[in-house]
Structure 1
């Protein structure tokens, strides 16, 4: 089932590699300037895909949020797999679409995705 948006997490020191990979895989990436820890842009592939990068969203991890259901990936996990293999870096994503009304029980369940495979873990993102 296609998710309404995609969010993944990548260590901040690899954000430049992310931009290069996105352009190679999808199309032109236009990024605006940083506004504090946030940077917005658009990825131009088959469709214009708004995205937002938030530095230090979880410690040394940046959040990359594709604000569209028209990405090349149907799910967070599919995107994380592609990026992990493309950059040979660990990528994190939630286990599945989580909504507040579902409660807190599954909110801390995440995947670590690497070229070696996927592992479920608990990632408490509380401040």
Structure 2
């Protein structure tokens, strides 16, 4: 089932490289607009994109608020980002609902040169 929005966390991913990859994958995006620590732009289809450097420690958040992307879910987005950018990517293993336990929120998947692995990432 397609997620209504997708988000990944990138280690050492440069904003310019991410922008170039997004332009190639979803069409030309508007220039980034900075609002405080957050950067925003829009994809060619109007989907809002948010880049938050150092969202969790040294991990950068990339969030697309649309289901109109080439990726069905966070994991597909993470796999594609890792393949294109060559940096470690982390994502949730599936959608998370407020009703779920906090422990479920700490379950993540990391994708790096060693493959994919589920692990516990306590972000708070």
Please, what TM-score do these two structures have when normalized by structure 2?
A: 0.92
Residue in structure 1 matched with residue 39 of structure 2 by the alignment: 39
| Aligned-partner Cα distance in 1 for 2:37–2:25 | 25
Q: What is the root-mean-square deviation of aligned Cα atoms in Å? A: 1.4
CA contact (8 A) 1:85 1:114 kept: no
Aligned length: 124
Residue in structure 2 matched with residue 14 of structure 1 by the alignment: 14
| Aligned-partner Cα distance in 2 for 1:72–1:120 | 23
| Aligned-partner Cα distance in 1 for 2:38–2:63 | 11
Q: Which runs of 4+ in 1 moved over 6 A?
A: none
SS in 2 for 1:16: helix
- How much does 1:115 deviate? 4.8
Identify unmatched segments of 5+ residues in structure 2: none
Q: 2:112 aligns with which of 97, 106, 114?
A: 114
Q: 2:57 aligns with which of 56, 59, 62?
A: 59
Identify unmatched segments of 5+ residues in structure 1: none
SS in 2 for 1:57: strand
- How much does 1:27 deviate? 0.8
